[in-house]
Chains A and B, each alone.
Chain A
Amino acid sequence: MKKKYETPLLDELEKGPWPSFVTEMKKAAQKSDIANDGLGQLEKSFRTKRGYWKHGGIVGVLGYGGGVIGRYSSLPEEFPGVAHNHTVRINQPSGWFYTTKALREICDIWDKYGSGLTNLHGSTGDLVLLGTRTENLEAIFAEYSSRGWDLGGSGSAMRTPSCCVGPARCEWANIDTLDITYTLTQEFQDELHRPAFPYKFKIKTAGCAVDCVAAIARADLSIIGTWKGKIQIDQNEVQNYAKKGMNINAEIVNMCPTQCISYDGKTLKIDDAECSRCMHCIAKMTKALRPTGEKGATILVGSKAPIVVGSLLSWVIVPFIKAEPPYTELKALIHKIIEWWDENAKPRERIGEVIEIKGMRSFLEYIGVPPHPAQIKFPRKDPFIFFKDEDFEKVYKKGKY
């Protein structure tokens, strides 16, 4: 295909050492009208400092309410190739592992029906196919689904769950993030494909508190691996770190948030009872330190980006839960959480916002989780309390107070 547009501003972004998205768009433009006109419209955006896309209507595949994002150019006469420029979300495999055979298969289908441009990956985790026309959607879905690939979530629905690399390639994984993500994605297929929620609901699973998948900041339900036992210490390896120049007192002991580590130049000691399992020492001395004992997950709820009432980080709801197949307890808890949210939210309210409106108490009581000091930053700092009669009956009249 011929070069259709002069792109002097975008050409500037082919210079410099970092890989260029413009080069990628130009490669795709050699084969696709969509990519070619996309390039032309982008050059215009760079020239005029504004976008020219419209969010669009209801597009999708039969029987699904999500997985395709409708996008139209607001300049279809000028850039007919992108009159339609819909995005198709393909549900990625857990941990973003692929074989080259699978990737080639994905590419071959996409070249046939779309722009040849992708995002590996989108923000939620999906493999994003960037730019196709409405009339191609059914064919795209048939080609992918018959080969074992399903669409991801979009709109007011369960969004495609995602996870860190977990036990596949990380010594810190306390839970099988890949299996949990696969299992939960299968569990919520209906909720994922047919938007029936008040708003989006995201699940992310991280193997430890390092949280490489930003579960605590980017998921309505954050599952983060933790452990209950001691941190096992290999003193020889501690010495090796010291020999290699690590200042153990400055870098490890003094940076421990609970000050539960000591080091006398020979032996490293950890008071496990006071450890908050933050992962600092383990991450910095991975050869010397490793968690032992019972492994499981902390369940947190509510994080989101700023719209509507401001950003939220997830709150701890369940400090420790066993997370082993078939995940019966975990699944039941998630269903209960979603049920409460669905009952109480107005359209476009995320669960974190509804908890702020309705109160943590009503949420916890509904899902059957007792109050626990691990859930709070600190207790309330004023004595303005609305006492309920049941509180006297259940707690204060029992004789202890």
Chain B
Amino acid sequence: MISADNKLGVIFFPAYDWAIDATHPEREERLLYTQDQLREEGIFDISGINEYKPEIAAQVDINRTHFCYPNVEAVTTESHLIAAGGAIKAAQLVMEKKVDKAFAIVRPPGHHAMKVVHGNRGFCNINNEAVMIEYIRETYGQCKIAIVDTDCHHGDGTQNIYWHDPNTLFISLHQDGRTIYPGTGFVSERGGPNAISKTINIPLPPQTSDSGFLYVIDEVVLPILEDFKPDLIINSAGQDNHYTDPITNMSFSAQGYARLNEKLNPDIAVLEGGYAIQGALPYVNLGIVLAMAGVDYSHVREPDYDPEKIRQSTKIDVYIENLCREIMDQYRQPIKPVGQEGDFSSRSKSVYYDTDGISDEQTEKVMICSACAGLRIIESRSSVHDRCLGIEIPINACPRCQDAGHRSLEDAKNAMRYRFIKLINRVDREYQTFNQEELSPLSKYFF
């Protein structure tokens, strides 16, 4: 019998009765062949690899992480709560030392879901990794966590959620935003004023293959991880960099994914995208499971695998070398202070929920703070819910940011300008919604 070097927990939840719609890539069939492959390989007979049932995430787990308008029920289905619950289960297993590592092979995915949620964008409603990370911090205490997003699409949702958090390092490797959804994730996106260089973007050219990805891991990801010294490493394990993926343009293989995982050595991996459900997912998932468990994966390859066919050009070699050098130079530059301590730094952005056709104009303010992640206030005006305000007092907030948060809440309530006011108060574990329509039936006429 084969025995695993690392005890691995696999949470497999394929949601065989849930789809965005019948022919959507995010449909019932997506993990069917992955399950067939894992079963046929006898994965769960390997001593040390065990399968676990997901939890169902509670409302509070979502409300701790997101501002959902008007509420969690309206923007999620049970399937979303189970996918997030699968990630939570992975965290429980690892944090309670029942396993060394865990892999949540769950759907639907989550990494395009931002702090504010009005609906579905990029197949995502709630951010599975963020819900999990905040569950970890709430349950087991504050810790430094690194998320390495290896999905082909920029993890813009996760980036948005952790933009200001100096205790969360977010690194995204993805196909260059100039060539693919969601069109972001450039080198210049480096994190908010309280968390500069805690966001790292590595936009790769189309046709990047195994050698390019592994080069980036060696030259950028591992050195920055070494510098950050996280307590936990999370892999947002999207599988759509595969050479057969129907909606992307990369040339990554199952061997490459397994090797990447081995180098990265994550504590927890959570499945994100990946839509070559027959030609890629069965082999990539198998490769990742074996790599995480420390079992020989050298015979895992796609039936049509031909390393010559997917080899990247020397032009791409050079491009990636230069890119990595640029990112590391920028990373090593001394960080200039931005703005005055205690001032608000603000930015505005438009967010489009492509699946649900919702547009949202957001203005975000964060208090510049050297003692905590800073009070965060997001005003959101979407095509479905106008006049929304979210106030977040971050975990371990300093007294000033706490006070400012409570004041902002009172001011907002008194202003009578908002339809919904949401409070995330991580210090006192309060997650509240103030629905103001009833209070002031006339207020809508003032807007």
Are A and B a genuine interacting pair, yes or no?
no
